[in-house]
Structure 1
């Protein structure tokens, strides 16, 4: 196929033609899901690469692996346009053989200082820009100093308080073209996804408007853990000059069935240092338990595992693995529906009017989520407001962890709910599913790894001496 016909291909959305061709320093494309934003950006970027020598910096907030970038999306568009022979695609870069155009891929959180030193960038494409911070923008904006250079800023709106919404939508700066696009302008959607969208509209109009029409939420007061709190916890140990602490724990959320995935979060002291997610068949619990046990052995860590459903058998596997490897790793069952810890203790020990744990929390899951939420809130106040707290009441997330975008989303999505007795609980997976929110496996593993605990391990462990 000739490159001269590329713009007429049906893989580019004609509704966005003027958006891409209007001269501007900042191109801001936002809206709901299934709107073709990223697909169109990738297609237009490939078109430009076939016409002129450009350097494109493809950035997103968290990118510890090339698979987390738009690299795959660009490759797909190259193939759809029939241009594979014109490009050299390596493991971490894409170049056009004729024009010399190149695409580079960076994560803002870990590489912002390295990005500052890049020269000759024509386009900085920021994908999933809802996570962009004011501090990062103050670094990025003067970094693109080449004449005619541009920012492409793409995102699904989250909150009206997010920096990217306030900076580019609420108070749009000069030399900026912004365009909202939703699924209603995407001519390439299948009937299947259209039916899914209409079902969501019939079920929950407010959620439909947020997810598919890109309407930002006014606030996040309905959630257990606020997004701003989680963001503040990123690299909090370094920000606050704290040691992680000695205790090692691994939280393990066991996949139930079907499309559900296993998740693992490893913690050193007050900092999450490792985040993993993987899919296995229902009959492969031993394989997953072995993976978790190997991580725990490497860290000399305790294991907290989901003991509901399939996970009920994980303890027996950990017992066998202890015997096999001659180690004494403690492992603890976590049943979200169990009764609360210290039921007669007050929720707030310093408040004489505070209710007791058993009267305030519906179950163990609620109690642990609220405990973790308190640590996130404390961390936010320490980082953003300079308030002082004991290190044990804070929480940190190492920015080198994988799946950070997903982890932040999952931690800051579940809402507060109440049982028939008026006690607080966390929005159930079933109710999350009604909002088209997948099971928060990473968040559940995270909370288990930081969960308060009073009971001793429920299963005995084998030592070298009694093998």
Structure 2
């Protein structure tokens, strides 16, 4: 069987062809890293019988893997009739080459038992931990086996950056590539990149030149804190109890998305996100209400803009389904709760809530941040806290990588009176950061309350 080499980025030819145990490809956005890896993997599969383990930190469904990238490249190269593509594997009909897809967090022990792996492709490897690497490295023991480690640098403190970029091990080829070496970019995206350079040089260098950040002191919630919270309930041996809640961030318009995060006590158990137009609020509200019925949970919903009408939809759905799902408005711009109370009750010099927070959104984000910090200290230092002062995220949640990114992105900001607030969506957009829908839903699921459910939510007498 003859198959021509697919069209890949010529700048990476030597990277793929140079013999090495570890291939480390990193750099900024729009640099063709993952597309090129998928293309070269497809080409290899047409030439020889290889087993490729496609891994990433969190993968709870096949759509979160590189499965789609491989399918697209197979189609682009006109090779669809050569492959058998099932719901969770891809195999070449003639060579027998096989692609498998695993999430490291949940399946690391299962991966240890896999045999005859030729290539372990770790996508979005910035979240790889040293403990996982210590397991993976000896697992690939076949002669000539390779690791493909591909990522956009996030923090200089990330294990993968320290291990493979700063202190590169033997038998490793590393390549830093950016958009300016990608010959396939459209004029449109080049204009977007140029606009980012003009708006914010530092952000441009991080996003498009792949320059890592320090553990960003400017953010409200540090990334290391969020990572420590993943499966913290298991690490600390604590079972969730108490109220079940769903935070619902309502899409406003354009490219915005709806998102929900469900929590049981201190544990986030479900994450969802979907596209919805302004005129589809009824459909979205029905989706959230169905989840609330399934989990026996209360709903905290964004009541600004389009979300202002969600309460009426929940009331109607309660009547239609003859249930009493409680729902609460969350107005991010509302006044702070307990305004006369001190931010830190244990510090007599601590300012009052009304003097420290600009609005309820800031108070909520800082409250969640404190719980993340407590969890980090409990997991890494053995400090002891009440369950209500901790926070955990189940690794079984979908969209987990995106949630981690969103929670650790918004920065501290201040109003004209010097009170703390959360970086606005407008300012995030200036940094080329999309709206953090999942993170907003997350903080709503853990937001403090001091009032009863929305008026009128209970069933009418004829439905009781």
TM-score range, shorter chain: over 0.9
Among residues 237, 245, 248, which one is paired with 2:241 in the alignment? 245
Among residues 286, 291, 306, which one is paired with 2:287 in the alignment? 291
Residue in 1 that maps onto 2:177: 181
Q: CA deviation at 1:314?
A: 0.7
Does residue 431 in structure 1 map to residue 460 in structure 2? no
Residue in 1 that maps onto 2:417: 421
Among residues 27, 32, 36, which one is paired with 1:36 in the alignment? 32
1:45-56 superposed matches below 5 A:
45-56=41-52
Does residue 145 in structure 1 map to residue 105 in structure 2? no
Residue in 2 that maps onto 1:21: 17
CA contact under 8 A between 1:301 and 1:329: conserved in structure 2? yes
Does residue 211 in structure 1 map to residue 218 in structure 2? no
CA contact under 8 A between 2:250 and 2:259: conserved in structure 1? yes
Task: Tell me, in whole angstroms, the C-alpha distance in 1 between the residues paired with 2:94 and 2:296.
Answer: 54
Q: CA deviation at 1:127?
A: 0.3
Task: Tell me, in whole angstroms, the C-alpha distance in 1 between the residues paired with 2:316 and 2:458.
Answer: 9
Does residue 341 in structure 1 map to residue 358 in structure 2? no
Residue in 2 that maps onto 1:222: 218
Q: CA deviation at 1:259?
A: 1.2
Q: Once the two structures are superposed, what CA deviation does each residue of 1:125-180 show, in whole Å capped at 9, x if it has no partner?
A: 00000010111101100100001100000000000000000000010011110000
Task: Tell me, in whole angstroms, the C-alpha distance in 1 between the residues paired with 2:351 and 2:133.
Answer: 45
CA contact under 8 A between 2:319 and 2:459: conserved in structure 1? yes
RMSD between aligned residues = 1.1
Q: CA deviation at 1:2?
A: 4.4
CA contact under 8 A between 2:303 and 2:309: conserved in structure 1? yes
- What secondary structure does 2:170 align onto? coil
Task: Tell me, in whole angstroms, the C-alpha distance in 2 between the residues paired with 1:219 and 1:237.
Answer: 24
Q: Provide TM-score, normalisation by structure 1.
A: 0.98
Residue in 1 that maps onto 2:384: 388
CA contact under 8 A between 1:344 and 1:356: conserved in structure 2? yes
CA contact under 8 A between 1:13 and 1:186: conserved in structure 2? yes
Task: Tell me, in whole angstroms, the C-alpha distance in 2 between the residues paired with 1:150 and 1:84.
Answer: 26
Task: Tell me, in whole angstroms, the C-alpha distance in 2 between the residues paired with 1:290 and 1:147.
Answer: 54
CA contact under 8 A between 1:63 and 1:107: conserved in structure 2? yes
Residue in 1 that maps onto 2:456: 460
Gaps spanning 5+ residues in structure 2: where? none
CA contact under 8 A between 2:215 and 2:223: conserved in structure 1? no
- What secondary structure does 2:346 align onto? coil
Task: Tell me, in whole angstroms, the C-alpha distance in 2 between the residues paired with 1:14 and 1:210.
Answer: 24
Task: Tell me, in whole angstroms, the C-alpha distance in 2 between the residues paired with 1:464 and 1:380.
Answer: 46
More displaced, 135-144 or 322-331? 322-331
- What secondary structure does 1:195 align onto? helix
Among residues 186, 199, 224, which one is paired with 1:190 in the alignment? 186
Q: Once the two structures are superposed, what CA deviation does each residue of 1:407-466 show, in whole Å capped at 9, x if it has no partner?
A: 000100000000000011000000000011111000000000000111112323324755
Among residues 254, 260, 263, which one is paired with 1:264 in the alignment? 260
- What secondary structure does 1:313 align onto? helix
Q: Once the two structures are superposed, what CA deviation does each residue of 1:316-337 show, in whole Å capped at 9, x if it has no partner?
A: 1111111222222211100000
Gaps spanning 5+ residues in structure 1: where? none
CA contact under 8 A between 2:122 and 2:149: conserved in structure 1? yes
CA contact under 8 A between 1:326 and 1:464: conserved in structure 2? no
CA contact under 8 A between 2:262 and 2:268: conserved in structure 1? yes
1:370-389 superposed matches below 5 A:
370-389=366-385
1:128-139 superposed matches below 5 A:
128-139=124-135
CA contact under 8 A between 1:331 and 1:459: conserved in structure 2? no
Among residues 315, 321, 327, which one is paired with 1:325 in the alignment? 321
CA contact under 8 A between 1:315 and 1:459: conserved in structure 2? no
CA contact under 8 A between 1:326 and 1:462: conserved in structure 2? no
Residue in 2 that maps onto 1:83: 79
Task: Tell me, in whole angstroms, the C-alpha distance in 1 between the residues paired with 2:461 and 2:231.
Answer: 41
Q: Once the two structures are superposed, what CA deviation does each residue of 1:252-307 show, in whole Å capped at 9, x if it has no partner?
A: 00010111111111111111111111112211111111111111112221110000
Does residue 409 in structure 1 map to residue 400 in structure 2? no
Task: Tell me, in whole angstroms, the C-alpha distance in 1 between the residues paired with 2:67 and 2:313.
Answer: 39
Task: Tell me, in whole angstroms, the C-alpha distance in 2 between the residues paired with 1:218 and 1:415.
Answer: 14
Task: Tell me, in whole angstroms, the C-alpha distance in 1 between the residues paired with 2:98 and 2:232.
Answer: 35
Task: Tell me, in whole angstroms, the C-alpha distance in 1 between the residues paired with 2:31 and 2:291.
Answer: 40
Q: Provide TM-score, normalisation by structure 2.
A: 0.98
